[in-house]
Every structure is written in C-alpha cells, then in structure tokens.
Chain A
Amino acid sequence: MAVYFRKKSIFIIAIAAVFLVIAIRLFSIQIIHKEYRITAENNALKYETQFPARGRIIDRNGLSMVDNKMVYDIMVTPIEVTAFDTLALCRIFDLDKDYVVKCFEGYKKDRRKIGYGSVYFLKHISSEQYNYFVEQSFHFPGFSASIRSARQYPYNAGGNLIGYVSEVDQNYINNNEGYKSGDYAGKTGIEQAYESRLRGEKGYTIYLRDAHNQIKEHYENGQYDKEAIAGEDLNTSIDVILQAYGEALMRNKVGSLVAIEPATGEVLTLISSPGIDVTQLDEINKHYSDLVNNPLRPMFNRTVQSVQPPGSVFKLVNGLIALQEGVITENTMYPCHSGFTVGNLHVGCHSHPSPLNLKQGIMMSCNSYFCYTLRAILDNPKYNNVEEALTQWHDYVESFGFGSKLGSDIPYELGGNVPSAETYNKMYGKGGWKSLSVISLSIGQGEFQATPLHLANLCATVANRGYYYTPHIIRGSEDYPLDEQYSTRHYTMVDTSYFPTIVDGMEMAVYGQGGTASAARIPGVVVCGKTGTAQNPHGDDHSVFICFAPKDNPQIAVAAYIENGGFGATWAAPIASLLMEKYLKGEISPERKWQEQRVMEANLLNKVRVK
C-alpha cells in the first residue's frame, strides 16, 4: 500500500511540475516579454495615412506654375466588408458590376498581403460622387472615402519642364527610401529633380479598434499621431508667361527654345517641342502610351537631351580661341570666293564681299573665314603637331561648358561631344589626319555635338563677356541658399578682353549691311545674334540662332534650335528674338506683329522625317 501512496505522490508532483512549467511560460510571455503586447496593439491599431499637400512650383514672378487640388478616392478594407448591395454601389459610382466582382476576386487572392489593411477601390472620383457616397456609406461597411491632394496647373505651360507625378511602383519603392505603395512621387522634370523638397512628410492618425472592430477613438488622445507636413513651395527661375509664349511660338515645330538670364544663369524658359501638355500630366497613366508612341517623342526633353552639331553659331568659339591663341587678330583678313578651297576640299559659302575681317566674318557667317581660322589654330607652329594643337583646342572648347553635362538641375541632361585627338586617331589612325581632315569643326559641324542648353549657355557666356553661371531652374532662398556651382562664375580659357570683338560681330549680324540676322531686330533694343544652319543629311537643315539683348547689360540670352527649319534666319532668329522682345518689353511691337503671326501660323511638322 505504501508503494502505491508513493506512486500517487509521484503523479501529483509530476503534474504539479508540468503545470509549473506552463505557469512560468505564461509569466514569461504575459509579464516579461513586451513584444507580444506591441504586436497585439499593432494588430488592433488602425493607421490612417494623412497625405501631405505637395509643394507648389512658383515662377520667378511669384505665379503658381503648379499647385494642388483635392481629389477623392474610395478605399476598401476587404476584411471589414460584409454583404452589400453591389448594384447600389455601382449606381453611386457609375460602375460595371463586373468591375466590383473583379476587384473582390483580386482582394481575395491577395488577402494575406492585404491583411487588415486598406486598398484603393476607385481613384479620382468626382466631388459629387464623393458627397453622395458619404451620405450612403453606412450601407457599405469596409468602404471609406479619402481625400487626397493632386496636382493642378494654372498655366498651360512647361509640361516637360515641370514633369509629372505618379504613383510609385514596386521598383521605385525598392530604390527609394520612405515610399510605400499608394504614395506619389515626381518622375520627371522639376517634380523629379526637387522631389525631396516638394513631397512633404506623410502623417498618420492612429485609431484604436475596440473588440467590436469599431474605430473607437484616437489612440492615446492622438499623442502619437503625426500631422502631415506639406511639401515646400519651390521658387523657380522660370517665367511662366514667357514659357507659355515660347510654347506658342514653337507650336507645330520640332526643336528647342531656351532662354537664360546671363547675369545669374537662371533659366527663364525651357521649351522642348512638341512637349507634354500639362493637361496630360494630371492623368499621365492615361496618356503615357500615346506619349511614348508618338513618333515626335513629346517625352523627350530636347533642350538637354538632343545632342546635335550646332552649325555656324560655333564659329564664335573658334574665333575666340584663335584670338586667344594669337593666330589672328580682329583685323586679320581672309578671302572667300564662294567658299574655302584647298585641293579637292571645298567648303561652300554664300556670296558676299571678300576679303573679310573677323567681325565681318561673324556678321556674314563666312565659312571660309573660319576654315582659315581653324587651320591657323591647328597648324600653329607653337605646337609640335596637329594632335597637340587639337588637344589644346579641345580644352578651350570644354572651358565653354561643351562636351560634358553643364550640371544644371534639369534631369537627364546630356553632355554632347567635343572631339579630341584620340577621336581622330581612331578614325584616321595616328598621324593619319591633319587640320584639313577636321575642317568641318570650324563651322560647328562634324563630330562636335551640343545640346540647345549648351548653346544658350554659350550665348550667355558671350553676353557676359567671358563667363557663365551653370544654368539652373531653382532660385535660392534663406532656407536653401543656392548651390555653390550655381553662384560661381565659370570663366572660359579665353581672356575676357577678346569677347567685345565677338559681341560687335554679333551686333553687326543683326544690324550690319548684309548681316545674316536682320530678322532678329527689336525696335528700341540693341540685339546681338548669330545664326546657324546645321547640315542635316536626313532632310532640311536645322535652323539655329543664338542671341542676347540688350547689347550692354544683357537681360536675356536665347538659343533656338528649330529642326528642319532651314536657314538660321528663317525661323530660329525670329522665334528667339520674339521671345526676347516679349521678355524685355512685355509685348510685341506693332511692326513685328506680322513676324509673330507668321511664326505662330507656321507648321514645319510636314518637313520632319520621322525615323
């Protein structure tokens, strides 16, 4: 009997021991470990995201280029949805029943992922639909309306420049910190370049669900809530009125129109034509495939991405280098007999008096003059061979900002190309080329390539008589002083004393007898300009023009690059000068109205050959 009593004790002690283990475990997870409580709270807390208003984009005169409007979305929390009248819901939002069925099939499939969260059911509903839904919402548990701010564009200007904002995709979320599905981000243009300042900070309101799955109250009286912080307004250098005017001038033309304030490097207008209409930015997803498939490539920002030979406007640079190198003076005369001929090589020119000095060469855009000039640079006895001379030339050209990205704050800027000795060594073999082989560089053709922004920057450099500020679209403020690179003068390797000669030549091009750019004259303002005609093997030549005004204390420097526009004087010069006139005088003088009308009515698209 005793042995059995011993056994009974074994039983009771064993059971007590096992229960003790369970009790200790309970103590451990209920009292010691806090993480279970936190997880439980996360399970029961409902975070409602407060989306911040994106910062406005403001032009140089304080006008809003982009601000915000309210849009209404319908969210659904699938786990809270109970049986509802599908048809009634369809009636409110004017939906197809199949859409609802399909949505809910999708939620069912993703139910693990969605969990207790909410997903979009409908986006961008009208405020009428919103109001009607709010009245009826008690019929549809699990559905809720949310108000979000979206972009609005007061002026129809600057579509490419501003860029679009769209919902982030998984790829974007992976590569950028702090974004979640459902967030929006700037994808192109200024919206992209200044995303971090414009986006603001999301906030959230925390609600506690009670045991009946009802939103009970603000969690801890809202002390852990975070208010959304609106994005900062962005002050840009763009003149939105000028931008709109420039876009009107560029309508039905393919090309770029860039205006810079030389004294600061601030970009006044940046027009790529054809561009994205701001009305398309709003619902970019709807228009995206149209835009991408458009053969004229409206998404392509030609101002910084179209790298092409600039044509004769580049003669200015060669003239400056030659002066600096001392191989010519402003009085050096070169002949031109309808062109430049050495042996079999012939570079044609139009008819004009001969010989010419440098200013006249610029005025009449004489090809021959600059062929001689480039030969003088490259065959300079100072250098052992043409290779060395070209390397020096290359460095000069680069000092004007060519051949690499200028470093502006415009996204996706390209650098263009300044050929080096190596380029030609590869083409002709080392020692297999001479100055005549690269003679097309003298007139801005051949291997030299630049963007319209580069040309505008060249124009600003000449207007400043020798230096430039890196072009930029942002303006400094107290909180955000301008980046140093935008407030530093970049001098070229050419001495500033050589620039006035070139400026005079540009003035003569506009006002001189036989000057190429008389179409750029603006009453009451001294305009300096240089035409260019970029040869185009694929069709009509490109019409190029750079100009600045007034001659003294220049306010604006413009580059116009009109593809297939023919001579520089035909389209680029009037367009650039009309833009300057609008900027300088606010309106076009009556005697130029015909010019304005001619430009605005012109349609050059039929000349564009789509590749």
Chain B
Amino acid sequence: MASSSSSLIRRLDWVLIAVTLLLVGIGWMNIYSAINVDDRAVFDITQRYGMHLLWIGISIVFDALILFAIPEKFWSAFSWWGYILMLATLVAVLVIGTEIKGSKSWINLGMVNIQPAEFSKITTSLALALAMSKYGFNFRNFRDGATAFALMLLPIALILLEKETGLALVYIAFLFVFFREGMSGWLILLGALAILLFVITLAYSPFIALLTALGIIWTLIVIESKESNLWLLVVAAAIALLSFLPKLLAIEAISNIIHFSPFEILAIIVATVSVYLIVREILRNPRSKFMRNALLSLICFIGLIYSVEFLFDKVLQDHQRARIEVLLGIREDPSGVGYNVHQSMVAIGSGGLTGKGYLNGTQTRFNFVPEQETDFIFCTIGEEWGLLGALFLLILYFFIITRVINSAEKNKNNFTRIYGYCVAMCIAVHVVINLSMTIGLMPVIGIPLPFLSYGGSHFWHSPYFCLFS
C-alpha cells in the first residue's frame, strides 16, 4: 500500500495540480474581495468567502480520498451504476427538489443545497468513456453512435425539465469528444452554421440568413468537388446579384404582381433546384453522398430559417428571449435584462490595463454587479486586476485544458483518454460560455467559472487528477 501510494504520488501531474490550486486560490481571493463587509474574519463561515474556504478544504480532502483510497479499476466498474444512480437522482429532483430562482434543480440537505445536475457531468463522462472505450466502438456504426448520443441526451432532457438550460448547454462539450472519437466533424460545423443562421435571422432578416447559408454551402460544394475556382466567382456574383432582390421587390409595380417576400421567392427557387440536383445525383451516382448531404442541409436550413420566429417566440422562455434580444442589440434595456451584462462590462471595462488593485474595485464591491461571487466572479478579476490579470487567467485555463488534452492523448488507456477529453471539453465550454457572457459576447447563461466561482461544485473537477500515466 505504501509503495503503491508513493508511486501514485510520483505519477501524479503535480504541475497540473499546482495550476489548479492556483486558480482555486485566485478564486477565493476574489470571492473575498467581491463580498463587501467591514468586519472580516477569513474563517467566518457565515460569509460566503468563509464558506467557500470550507468547500475548498472539503474538496481537497475528498479528492485525496478518491485518489488514494479508491482503486483505479473502481471507476470503470462504477460508471454504469453511477450513471443510472444519477439519472434516478435527476428524476427525484424533479419530484422532491427545491426551487431556487425558478429552476427546480436543487436538493436541500439541511445545511447546504446540492445541484445534482453539476455531478451528472461526471457520471455522464464516465459512462461515455466506458461505452466508447469498448473494443470495436465505431461512430459510423449506427448502434454505437446511437448509444453515445443517448447517453448524452438523457441527462440533458432531465436537466432541461428542471429548467436549467445553462447547465444543459454544457453538454455540447461531449459533441467535441464524439468528434475526437470519430464522429464526422461536419455535424459540428453544420450545428455551428445553424446557430449562425439563427442569429443572422434574428439580427438581420431571413433573406440574408438564407443568402449566407447558400453562399457557405455552395462554396463547400465547389471546394469539395474540386471544380475550378471560377465557380467560386460565379457563386460570389450570384449572391451579390441576389442581394438586390429585396430592393427590386420594394418597387411597387413589382410587389403588386408578386406577393411573396424575398425570402420566400429565394427559398422556393433554392429548394426546387436542390431537390432537382439531389434526384439527379442519386440517379447518376448513388454512392457520392457529399453533394446530396450538402443540398439536403440547405433545405433543412431553409426550414430552420423559416421557423426561427416560431422557435424564438414560442419555444424560448421570456427571459431567454430577452437576453438574446439584448445581446443582438434588438432591444436596449440597461436597467432590466441588460442590467447584469451592462454592469458586468462596466466593471471589467473600468479595470483598464492593470486594474484598480486588490480590494479596490468599486463596481464589484458596491453590488453593482449581481451574482458577482458566483457566475460573475470574472468581473472582480477584470476590475481589480485589469487586462493583465484577465489574460493571465485565460492563459492558466488554456494551460490546464491543453495539458489535460495532451495527457489524455498520451494515455494508452481508451477509457482514461475519453474521460480526459470529457473533462477538458467541459472545462473549456464552461470557461468560454462564462467569460463570453460577462463581456457581452453571449447571452446571459448562468453557469459558473470552473475553480473560481463560489460553491462546492469543485468536487467534479477532482477526478481528472486520475489522469496519470
């Protein structure tokens, strides 16, 4: 036992552990700063910084226990049971959970509230790692692909039912893991394109969104089919011409004859041509899938763009709609929905290059920024440590993510590698969404900043220390 634990100590990635602890330390310092009380005692657990210190201590003990007391083999054996147990908990939360700020995702354990959805990321990662590390697993195999997607989608569905959209969104991290393990990258590209079109439709018009889709897909077809570059010019010219369509239709004489909107006209033309080309392609060469898929996607995009309004008005909840509208500048609302983001950007922006100095930030400390010790903790850093502090933080995160990816790649064990990717991608998605939200690049999505935000969810970060050789 002694020898195994001493070899374990040697095998651990101490650099990674040190950087992580550094982040946790930075997090605590800033929570301490963000909470504005005059009488300060560091260990005062009636204050959140005191409580946070307690959480950090518990996490470290917990992590050490996991590393030293639980045999490595336990993890793969535990995966299924952990996953099923977590699904059961998520269902239970829906029934007996406590509602906090409109989402029924908390379990009240007397002294603390626990959000099982945070932990389900770990169990889902473990389950995915187990499923995908199975010998002969192949994404092109329908059954394997379906299993992976099902494992990912089940917890998402339950979390959405708990109205924790933000937490559910983090699960897109697993899509990137799927890509690493053989899923077609086109799926991610098309997903990104769908989001882009959704935003363009809202911010500009369906017509422009469709032109964009047309341009991108046409370009992809031209590149993929290795036709001459002349075609690219034709694409550009055609799209430039088409952009005059709305102006043309604005002429009264023409609009009296044609009652369709520019989008509808273009959609009908594109859909007709696409269907014709697909049919021709299938007849001519049933094995070439690219062209067919590209044109099919185009038709799907027409459908998506057409239904954006419906999705936006009917499917999204009021506060989500408002957040997106504020982000896209459709609505100015600095005192309402836009308040958080505006104050957050003011706090960060006022930090300048070097910041106002530790404990000297006026914005974060006067409670101008809401949720400043949880989701908006980055404001404190931006204000008190300035651009340099913020960039330093970015570098630390980049270091951690790439280090985890690198050690995952080096690992010969598939289970460990996949789990490592899951952890890296979860951290990356958390960091990107959280930072983008505080600086107004994304709508407000309430998810914490890993290692920094107040709370006890640091448990879930721990098992990635298992990534030893």
- Report A's interface with B, CB cutoff 8 A: 4-5, 7-8, 10-12, 15-16, 18-19, 21-23, 25-27, 29-31, 33, 35-37, 39-41, 43-44, 112, 116, 209-213
When C-beta atoms are compared, the residue in chain B nearest to A209 turns out to be B362
6 residue pairs bridging A and B, Cβ less than 8 Å apart:
A22-B432, A26-B348, A39-B350, A40-B346, A40-B383, A116-B366
Tell me the smallest distance from the CB of B464 to a CB of chain A, in Å.
16
When the two chains form their complex, are residues B361 and A4 in contact, meaning their CB atoms are under 8 A apart? no
Complex Cα–Cα for A33 and B351 (A): 11
| Cα–Cα distance between A209 and B350 once the two chains are bound (Å) | 15
Q: Are A7 and B180 in contact (CB under 8 A)?
A: yes
Q: How far is the CA of A31 from the CA of B351 in the complex (A)?
A: 9
The stretch of B115-123, B145-153, B304-312, B385-393 in contact with A is B385-393
B38's partner among A27, A36, A112, A212 (CB-CB below 8 A) is A212
Nearest B residue (CB) for A27: B387
Q: B23 → chain A, closest Cβ, in Å?
A: 15
User: Shortest CB–CB separation between residue A163 and chain B, in angstroms?
Assistant: 39
Stretch of B94-102, B130-138, B401-409, B453-461 on the interface side: B401-409
Q: Are A19 and B398 in contact (CB under 8 A)?
A: yes
B345-A11 in contact (CB<8A)? no
Cα(A26)–Cα(B390), bound, Å: 8
Whether the pair B352, A18 counts as a contact (CB closer than 8 A) is: no
Q: What are the residues of chain A within 8 A of B365 when measuring CB–CB?
A: 211-213
> A22-B441, A26-B390 known; 7 other A-B pairs, CB under 8 Å?
A30-B349, A31-B387, A33-B349, A36-B346, A37-B349, A211-B366, A212-B36
Q: A213 to chain B: which residues have CB within 8 Å?
A: 36, 365-366
Q: How far is the CA of A30 from the CA of B354 in the complex (A)?
A: 10
> Contact at A36–B439, with CB atoms within 8 Å?
no
Contact of B398 with A16 in the complex, beta carbons under 8 Å: yes
Taking CB as reference atom, which chain B residue is nearest A32? B349
Taking a contact as CB atoms closer than 8 A, the residue among A8, A30, A209, A212 that contacts B352 in the complex is A30
Chain B neighbourhood of A212, CB < 8 A: 36, 38, 365
Instruction: Tell me whether B90 is interfacial, beta carbon within 8 Å.
Output: no
**A46: shortest Cβ distance to chain B, in Å?**
11
B428 on the A face (CB < 8 A): yes
* Min distance, Cβ B116 to any Cβ of chain A, angstroms: 28
Closest to B425 in A: A11
Output the nearest chain A residue to B383 by Cβ-Cβ distance: A40
User: Which residues 307-364 in B have Cβ within 8 Å of A in the complex?
Assistant: 335, 345-353, 359-363
Find out whether the CB atom of A43 lies under 8 angstroms from the CB atom of B363.
yes
Point out the residues of chain A lying under 8 angstroms from B351, CB to CB: 30
Asked if B432 and A31 make an inter-chain contact with CB atoms under 8 angstroms apart, the answer reads no
Q: A18-B432, A26-B439 are contacts. A40–B335 as well, Cβ < 8 Å?
A: no
Q: Is the CB of B346 within 8 A of A210?
A: no
Contact among A27, A36, A112 with B350 in the assembled complex (CB-CB below 8 Å): A36
CA distance A37 to B352 in the complex (A): 8
Contact B362 A31 (CB under 8 A): no
B285 CB → nearest A CB, Å:
26
Give A499 to B38 CA distance when docked, in angstroms.
Answer: 86
B interface, CB within 8 angstroms of A? 36, 38, 176, 179-180, 185, 335, 345-353, 359-363, 365-366, 368, 382-383, 386-387, 390-391, 394, 397-398, 401-402, 405-406, 409, 428, 432, 435-436, 439-441
Give every chain B residue within 8 A of A7 (Cβ-Cβ).
179-180
- Please name all residues of chain A whose beta carbon is closer than 8 Å to the beta carbon of B397 when the two chains form the complex: 19
What are the residues of chain B within 8 A of A22 when measuring CB–CB?
A: 394, 432, 435-436, 439, 441
The verdict on A210 contacting B362 (CB below 8 Å), with A15-B398, A22-B441 known, is yes
Q: Which residues of A contact B179 (CB under 8 A)?
A: 7
Q: Is the CB of A4 within 8 A of B409?
A: yes
User: Which residues does chain A contribute within 8 Å of B36, judged by CB atoms?
Assistant: 211-213
**Chain A nearest CB, measured from B32 CB (Å):** 12
Is A29 a contact partner of B345 (Cβ separation < 8 A)?
yes
List 4 A-B pairs, minimum CB-CB distance, nearest first.
A36-B349, A40-B350, A44-B362, A29-B349
Q: Is the CB of B348 within 8 A of A30?
A: yes
Between B176, B350, B409, B432, the greatest number of chain A beta carbons within 10 A of the residue's beta carbon is seen for: B350
- Whether A40 touches B405, Cβ cut-off 8 Å, given contacts A15-B398, A22-B441, A211-B360, is no
Complex contact A30–B387 (CB within 8 A) = yes
B353 touches A12 (CB 8 A): no
Residues of chain B contacted by A29 (CB below 8 angstroms)? 345, 348-349, 439-440
Q: Kindly name the residue among B362, B398, B406, B436 whose own CB sees the greatest number of chain A CB atoms within 10 A.
A: B362
Report the Cα distance A202→B284, complex, angstroms. 85
User: In the bound complex, do residue B335 and residue A112 qualify as a contact, i.e. CB atoms below 8 Å apart?
Assistant: yes
Residue of A whose beta carbon sits closest to that of B424: A11
Taking a contact as CB atoms under 8 Å apart, the answer to whether B441 and A25 are in contact is yes
State in angstroms the CA–CA spacing of A11 and B401 once bound together.
10
Q: Which of B185, B348, B353, B394 contacts A36 (CB 8 A)?
A: B348
**Measured between alpha carbons, how far is A514 from B205 in the docked complex, in Å?**
97
Q: When chains A and B are docked, how far (Å) is the Cα of A39 from the Cα of B436?
A: 21
